[in-house]
Structure 1
Amino acid sequence: MILWVLGYAEKSKIRVMAIKDRLKQPIYTAELYIKDSHKGPRPHKIRLLTGKKEEFIPHQQFIELLRSANRIMLAEGGDPANETAFMEMLKGFQLSADRVKICKHCLINKRFNFVNSKSIKYHDELICLDCAKEELLRAVRSAGVQYGEKSIDFLEQVLVKTRDLDRTIRMLTPDRLDPEFTRYDTIWTNPASATVRIKNLPLQKKFKDMLLERSETLLPVQALSIEAGLLEGKNQFVVSATATGKTLIGEMAGIQNLLDKKGKMLYLVPLVALANQKYDQFRERYSKLGLTTSIKIGANLIKTSQRVKMHTSPSADIIVGTYEGIDHMLRSGNADYLGKIGTVIVDEVHTLEDQERGHRLDGLIGRLRYVAPEAQFIYLSATVANPEGYAKKLGARLVRYEHRPVPIDRHLLFCQENEKAKLISQLAKEEYSMLSSKKHRGQTIVFTNSRRNCHKLAAALSIQAAPYHAGLSQYERKKIETRFAKGELPVVVTTAALAAGVDFPASQVIFESLAMGVDWISVQDFLQMSGRAGRPDYHDRGIVVLMPVPGKSYSGSQSDTEEEVAIKLLQGEMLSAGVQYGEAEQLEEVLASVAVTSSVQDLRKIHNMMFGNYDLERLIQRLQNYRFLERKGNRITLTRFGKIVATHFLSVSKAFLIRDAVLEENKPLQIVTNLEFFDAAYFKYANQIGSSLHVNMPSRVFQGATLDIIFDGESLSQLDVKIRELMLSFASDFLTCACKDSPYCGCAEQKFSEKIIKLRTEALEPEQIVKRLEEKYGISAYQGDVFGYLDNAVRNLDAVELIAKVHSKKGVAEEAKKLKKKVQG
């Protein structure tokens, strides 16, 4: 047995521990009182600290304990006078003590542990890890919010990593923003030396001179692409972080192929906002080379005074388009209008894994590879979990560059909902006050989970900020993009849905929410969004800030809380969801592909190039049974009905809904509003209604709880007169059906959708329609949503007209045509 005795000098006594075999829990703890005698300091009394009645150790027994100890120790930091008395007492017994550093928190709790330079800092002293964890847990429990187990594990990891308890506890109270306390990690850049000089590239002189105006050398990923055969016509799948120069890879191939007369350049993107921006960039840049640029973003059918005029001819040298915009040409049988295609650049190709739109991009790529087999295909993505698998299926060489263009500091800021606006304002102000070595101010993108929150948060910030989302009109979005690009706008608040959208040169990205709607964002979404922080042409570094609310979740089905999701995202690795979709989507893609070939053999070739798993024979038979296709041996064609379905991006179920309604000679207005409701409507006075009725009033009009409140006459009687009149007006116009399930039968949504279309037929523009809804019903909507709904209504009315003609319903066809023209304006 090893026996140690430890003493610690307090003001009037010495705390003594008897320690066996180096265990943290001593055999016993006692208080030693020393008195002066003619022989020097000697034990006066030794009281055991047992918690029971007073018990003392005889002097001789204590002295024997000291003599039998393998080691006597005196803890540093005690009362100097008593330390001297203790050492003198030991000297009187021909004994001595080693001075040691111990954990004072252990001492208080009647435990023993040494500390050293690797122990935990806390209040200008060192304590052991066990005590630090206890203090941390105490701080977490007194924070007033519920932290999950994973969050506590993470905080303990921070504690071990930083060896600083004060810093770790400060993460719980971020009212004093100190980056040293909130920084989770830094993702460093690893800049490769320039290996490819632009002047040495085999490019036409006028194009090369244009590139040399921007730089003398290529960026690393661009150099890798050149080495992988970019200018030799090789198909490539380029995976690299945002702002590493991927776009120029596509441009170098596309413009050089154009100048070499190999065919035009198609640049495909998932969002209209991104297509608009690329269109503006390419038109300005390449008109100097005598090249024309046009845009294809689907059938823009609504005429408004705010409409930005754009060149849309398919005869242009460069065509920028959304996936659907280009696919519409193929589905319409107009692939020949595109002319000779030399290069196809597909940006944000990871959209293939999107549950709703992935099948359409998969089909589009397959169809383009078929109609332009000689073209060079360049696929671009910042984040893909399985790049090797993608490259193989796409028939492309993988070009992968894993380093960021500038370092990123990632910060984790636990906070409460009511603190966010203040904290974001402070972070944004600090960032906007900074000037990079490239003389650019720091600007901030804030991601939140809904359009409503974009407006609410932008208005709550004490620094100039603008909401930005797909619900705004093209004109409004353009203004914001321009102001941000000029450095005039410090903050843009946007939704996760625009993560892959417009190129805002921000140095700081703040995640006000970690959800998209009510669903947590994925690791892939997070990397895509956080990758937008820091641009090498503008900034020296990027900042990413996550602001989770401990204990928060967005739906009852979520087991993780927001701070636990934050930690998962920071630590996470991407998982490939794969490109999978159901039979309804497969039927749509087969139908769309028949629009570009009449050969079953070629149809099989198209679908073999796609990611989706197709049983082609079975699907063809199904479409034949639906009378969408006709087949004679190896020859296959669309019926008139099938061509309408393919061209209008209709699912099989929607096609039959229209057909059945046409055969019943329903009104076209009723048909299109039953096909698609306008549900992006909000009660302008939702907060006031909620306060008056003491309920949590949802802002969306057509949520069940909202309709419950409005449907209840007693509730309405408690409202302010003005608001009550608006609600009564809404109820009398839209909640008057006799359905058994009213108001949850869908009639209210259908009538409201009809109202929007009818207002449009009165020659009102989307902005005026929104104003009318606010005045009469206290309901607000976004211009972009109204515009999009009317655009879809025109497309559906066109389908109704054509399907009515197929089935010889001339009256329905004529009525649909007249309504379509009025809605178009």
Structure 2
Amino acid sequence: MTLWILASAERSKIIILPIRDKKKKPLFVGELLLRQTDVGPRPHKFKVKTDGEGEYRPPSEFIDLIRIADRIMIAKGGDDDQTTRFIDMLQGFQLSADIVNACKFCLLKNRFNFLNRRSIKYHRDKVCEECAREELFRMLKSSHVNYGDEVCQRFEDIMLKTKDLDRTMAMISPDDLDRELTKFDSIAANTSVPKGMIKDLPLHKSFKKILLEKSDTLLPVQSLSVENGLLKGQNQLVTSVTATGKTLIAELAGIENILRKKGKMLYLVPLVALANQKYDQFTKRYSPIGIKTSIRVGSARIKTSKNASMTRTLDSDIIIGTYEGLDYVLRTGGADLLGHVGTVVVDEVHTIEDSERGHRLDGVIARLKYIAPDAQFIYLSATVAKPALRAKQLGAKLIEYEYRPVPIERHLILCPEYSKVKIMTKLVREEFAITSSKGHKGQTIIFTNSRRNCHSIAEALPISAAPYHAGLTSQERKKVEIAFVKGKLPVVVTTAALAAGVDFPASQVIFESLAMGIEWLTMQDFLQMLGRAGRPDYHDRGEVIVLAVPNKKYSGDKGDTEDAVALKLLKGEMQHTKVQYGDDEQLEEVLATAAVTSSKKDLEKIHSNMLADYNVDFLLNKLARNKFLHKKDDLISLTRFGKIAAGHFLSVSKAFLIRDSVLVGQDPLVTVSNLEFFDSVYYKYAARISAALNVNLPSRVFQGASLDILFEGENMDKLDITLRDQLFEFAADFLTCNCRDSPYCGCAERKFSEKIITIRAEGYEPDGIVRKLESLYGITAYPGDVLGYLDNVVRNLEAVEMIAAAHSKREISLRARSLKKLVEG
């Protein structure tokens, strides 16, 4: 056993810590007082403390203690006079001591630890790791924020890496961003795969000329695709991060197949915004060589002055369409109208795992394989959890390229909500001040969780910024896209829903929120969104900034907080999702497939190509019992009722609802407003109302307690007369039902939906409808949302018209047709 004595000199006394076997906790804590004698300083009083109690012991015991000690040490930085007297005393006993660097925080806690190269800087001094941890966690706890374990570990990791507690704690309120500390990780660029030369590709001369105007070489993933049979008709699943060149792979196959007379190209996308963008790009790029492009999306049913110029015919070389837009052609018996299909491109194919839309994408792929068995299928995605398995399921060869074309850095900034705008402003300005070696300014995409936030953030930033989301009209979105691509717009604020595909060549992505609505982002969503940072033909690197508010939640008191979610997303990997559908979804898909084949055997074959498991016999029998189809031996045929349901994307339950409404003679306007509410409506003056009532009014009109707040007690009297009149008008028109649970009975939403349809029937375009709502009620909506809703109204009215005719309800059918024409415009 070894015995060390550590002395720490204070002004009036010397603390003595006997250390056995190098342990941090001493045998006891002693206090030594010295007195001056003729022979020099000598022990005068020696007090020993154990468990807080003190007892004076003979000074001779202290002398015996230091005589048997293996080592005597004096803590550096103590009182100089006392230290000198202690050394003189030791010399009087022919003893010596070492001056050592001991942790002052440990000494204050009556324990011992050396300072060394692992020690942590704190307040211009150093402390040991243990004390630094204790102080870190004390400060985190006293910050009134309930930091989760993972986040605390993140702070500790940064402290141990930097050896600087002050610098680490500055991250709690990051007024001055320390990029070295906020950096979570970096992903290096890798372009090790050889780049093929475009001039060497066996392409049509005119097509090759277009490609060479942009580049002489293929990007790595494009080279891999060509090497693996792209130009020889090989079906492929191409998985690679955003901006690696997947779209051109689709074009290489599709355009060349068109020019070789192998058939037209169908290009399927999940979003109308993406369809519009691809339509514009392909029209501009390929019309000079005689290739015609058209578009098929849902909103084609609603005629407006601004969308009349888009080509929508099926007699085109390239048909760009949303999944549902092209499926509608098949469901309504228009497969033959598509003509000879040579290439089918499915962009963002990971949507097949989506709980709401996945079954429809799965279904349209299987049906297209049936009607175009010789076509080449190209599937594109940046985020597939088990690509080899998915490629096998889709009958395609996997082309996987795992590396980014430019390096990317990912940063995590833990910050209070109120500091986000300040931080984002700084980040956006710094990025826009940088010009890449390709001559492009740094531009930013900010992702947030709601459309309203898109606008409020864009307005709050003291720099040119624009909101961008599906609620805007296609013309509004296009204006933003053009300004961004030209480098004139430093920042776009958008929602997670538009993360997929839409082409914004940004060098920086900022996550203002880690939610979509009130639900946390999935790993796949997160990777899809951060993949927007850094484009090889624009930028030298990409930046991803995650702004996370400690302890923030979006719904309820349970579940993770935003800081914990941030770390999970940054550390996580995608989880493979097994594709499964409910009964309604399976019935809808079997009904849709029966629109393209009259053979039960073929129908079974089509559904065997789908990812979910189908009990085809059970589903066919159920549809037959409910008079959606006829079935005899191998022959199946849709009834009139079944054709209507299939062509209008009606679930079985929705089809029954329409039929029952028709049979009781319900007005078609009431029927369609019952089928689907329009509730994406907001208080235009929510901020003014909140200020007047001194409450935080939810911005959505039909959200939670907003109606209760407005019409409670004397609240209306606190508003200015114009607002009060508008809200009373709203109440009179929509809140006058006698239901027990009014206003949460659904009557208000139904009546409001009727109002939207009625205003459209009067000849107003979507933006005109919005202006009228603002004028009448002081509430607002997004024209794009209105357009999408009206498109569904048209489909539902058409279903009402046809089902009424099928049941000889001529008057209902005529009223539905008349209203449909007015809504179509």
TM-score bucket (shorter structure): over 0.9
Q: Report deviation, 1:303.
A: 1.9
1:726 has 2:731 as partner: no
Contact 1:185/1:411 (8 A) holds in 2: yes
Contact 1:116/1:126 (8 A) holds in 2: no
Contact 2:314/2:338 (8 A) holds in 1: yes
In structure 2, the residue matched to 1:183 is 183
In structure 2, the residue matched to 1:758 is 758
Partner amino acid for 2:755?
A: K
> Map of 1:524-563 to 2, 5 A cutoff?
524-556=524-556, 558-563=558-563
Q: Structure 1 residues 692, 244: closer, same or farther in 2, change over 3 A?
A: same
Contact 1:308/1:474 (8 A) holds in 2: no
In structure 1, the residue matched to 2:309 is 309
Q: Report deviation, 1:498.
A: 1.0
Report the 3-state secondary structure (helix = DSSP H, G, I; strand = E; otherwise coil) of the residue aligned with 2:442.
coil
Q: Could you report, residue by residue, the CA deviation over 1:117-155 in whole angstroms, capped at 9, with x for unpaired residues?
A: 123332343322221111111211232322233322332
Q: Matched residues, percent identical?
A: 60
In structure 2, the residue matched to 1:329 is 329
Q: Could you report, residue by residue, the CA deviation over 1:443-487 in whole angstroms, capped at 9, with x for unpaired residues?
A: 111111111111111111111111111111111111111111111
Partner amino acid for 2:620?
A: I
Distance of 2:40 and 2:308 partners within structure 1: 99
Comparing 299-308 and 558-567, the one that deviates more: 299-308
In structure 1, the residue matched to 2:808 is 808
> Map of 1:593-742 to 2, 5 A cutoff?
593-712=593-712, 714-742=714-742
> Map of 1:382-401 to 2, 5 A cutoff?
382-401=382-401
In structure 1, the residue matched to 2:61 is 61
Contact 2:118/2:129 (8 A) holds in 1: no
Report the 3-state secondary structure (helix = DSSP H, G, I; strand = E; otherwise coil) of the residue aligned with 2:661.
helix
In structure 1, the residue matched to 2:571 is 571
Contact 2:346/2:380 (8 A) holds in 1: yes
Q: Report deviation, 1:326.
A: 0.9
Contact 1:308/1:475 (8 A) holds in 2: no
Q: Could you report, residue by residue, the CA deviation over 1:397-420 in whole angstroms, capped at 9, with x for unpaired residues?
A: 111111122222211112222221
Distance of 2:80 and 2:401 partners within structure 1: 62
Distance of 1:608 and 1:112 partners within structure 2: 72
> Map of 1:68-147 to 2, 5 A cutoff?
68-79=68-79, 82-147=82-147
> Map of 1:452-601 to 2, 5 A cutoff?
452-556=452-556, 558-601=558-601
Comparing 306-315 and 784-793, the one that deviates more: 306-315
Contact 2:348/2:501 (8 A) holds in 1: no
In structure 2, the residue matched to 1:433 is 433
TM-score when scaled to structure 2?
0.96
In structure 2, the residue matched to 1:771 is 771
Q: Report deviation, 1:20.
A: 1.2
Q: Report deviation, 1:216.
A: 2.8
Q: Could you report, residue by residue, the CA deviation over 1:500-552 in whole angstroms, capped at 9, with x for unpaired residues?
A: 14111111111111111111111111111111111111111111111121111
In structure 2, the residue matched to 1:21 is 21
Report the 3-state secondary structure (helix = DSSP H, G, I; strand = E; otherwise coil) of the residue aligned with 2:177.
coil
Q: Report deviation, 1:674.
A: 1.1
Comparing 706-715 and 763-772, the one that deviates more: 706-715
Contact 2:438/2:539 (8 A) holds in 1: yes
Contact 2:443/2:508 (8 A) holds in 1: yes
Q: Structure 1 residues 557, 386: closer, same or farther in 2, change over 3 A?
A: farther
Contact 2:118/2:128 (8 A) holds in 1: no
Distance of 1:557 and 1:300 partners within structure 2: 43
Contact 1:170/1:181 (8 A) holds in 2: no
Report the 3-state secondary structure (helix = DSSP H, G, I; strand = E; otherwise coil) of the residue aligned with 1:171.
helix
Partner amino acid for 2:480?
A: I
Comparing 730-739 and 683-692, the one that deviates more: 683-692
Distance of 2:49 and 2:688 partners within structure 1: 63
Q: Structure 1 residues 12, 210: closer, same or farther in 2, change over 3 A?
A: farther
Comparing 388-397 and 715-724, the one that deviates more: 715-724
Contact 1:644/1:799 (8 A) holds in 2: yes
Report the 3-state secondary structure (helix = DSSP H, G, I; strand = E; otherwise coil) of the residue aligned with 2:295.
strand
> Map of 1:54-453 to 2, 5 A cutoff?
55-79=55-79, 82-192=82-192, 194-298=194-298, 300-307=300-307, 309-453=309-453
Contact 1:436/1:540 (8 A) holds in 2: yes
Partner amino acid for 1:803?
A: I
Contact 2:173/2:416 (8 A) holds in 1: no
Contact 1:267/1:319 (8 A) holds in 2: yes
Report the 3-state secondary structure (helix = DSSP H, G, I; strand = E; otherwise coil) of the residue aligned with 2:366.
helix
Contact 2:631/2:637 (8 A) holds in 1: yes
Distance of 1:435 and 1:578 partners within structure 2: 44
Q: Report deviation, 1:650.
A: 0.9
Distance of 1:100 and 1:229 partners within structure 2: 71
Distance of 1:454 and 1:200 partners within structure 2: 46
Q: Report deviation, 1:330.
A: 0.9
Q: Structure 1 residues 116, 173: closer, same or farther in 2, change over 3 A?
A: same
Distance of 2:235 and 2:652 partners within structure 1: 35
Distance of 2:817 and 2:67 partners within structure 1: 109
Partner amino acid for 1:750?
A: R
Q: Report deviation, 1:40.
A: 4.8
Comparing 403-412 and 158-167, the one that deviates more: 158-167
Comparing 498-507 and 697-706, the one that deviates more: 697-706
Partner amino acid for 2:313?
A: S
Partner amino acid for 1:518?
A: I
Contact 1:673/1:754 (8 A) holds in 2: yes
Distance of 1:195 and 1:502 partners within structure 2: 26
Contact 2:47/2:57 (8 A) holds in 1: yes
Q: Could you report, residue by residue, the CA deviation over 1:8-67 in whole angstroms, capped at 9, with x for unpaired residues?
A: 345565433111122111112334455565545544544445686764443332222122
Q: Report deviation, 1:164.
A: 2.9
Report the 3-state secondary structure (helix = DSSP H, G, I; strand = E; otherwise coil) of the residue aligned with 2:172.
coil
Q: Could you report, residue by residue, the CA deviation over 1:323-379 in whole angstroms, capped at 9, with x for unpaired residues?
A: 111111111111122111111111111101111100000101111111111111111
> Map of 1:737-748 to 2, 5 A cutoff?
737-748=737-748
Comparing 99-108 and 84-93, the one that deviates more: 84-93
Distance of 2:287 and 2:83 partners within structure 1: 87
Unaligned runs of 5+ in 1: none
Q: Report deviation, 1:759.
A: 1.1
Comparing 152-161 and 278-287, the one that deviates more: 152-161
Report the 3-state secondary structure (helix = DSSP H, G, I; strand = E; otherwise coil) of the residue aligned with 1:742.
coil
Partner amino acid for 2:15?
A: R
Q: Could you report, residue by residue, the CA deviation over 1:422-450 in whole angstroms, capped at 9, with x for unpaired residues?
A: 21111111111111121211111111111
Distance of 2:94 and 2:217 partners within structure 1: 79
Q: Report deviation, 1:605.
A: 0.8
Q: Structure 1 residues 733, 43: closer, same or farther in 2, change over 3 A?
A: same
Contact 1:344/1:376 (8 A) holds in 2: yes
Distance of 1:752 and 1:545 partners within structure 2: 40
Report the 3-state secondary structure (helix = DSSP H, G, I; strand = E; otherwise coil) of the residue aligned with 1:717.
helix
Q: How many residues align?
A: 825
Q: Structure 1 residues 397, 551: closer, same or farther in 2, change over 3 A?
A: same
Unaligned runs of 5+ in 2: none
Comparing 650-659 and 151-160, the one that deviates more: 151-160
After superposition, the CA RMSD in angstroms is 2.1
Q: Report deviation, 1:99.
A: 4.0
Distance of 1:38 and 1:428 partners within structure 2: 75
TM-score when scaled to structure 1?
0.96
Distance of 1:397 and 1:587 partners within structure 2: 30
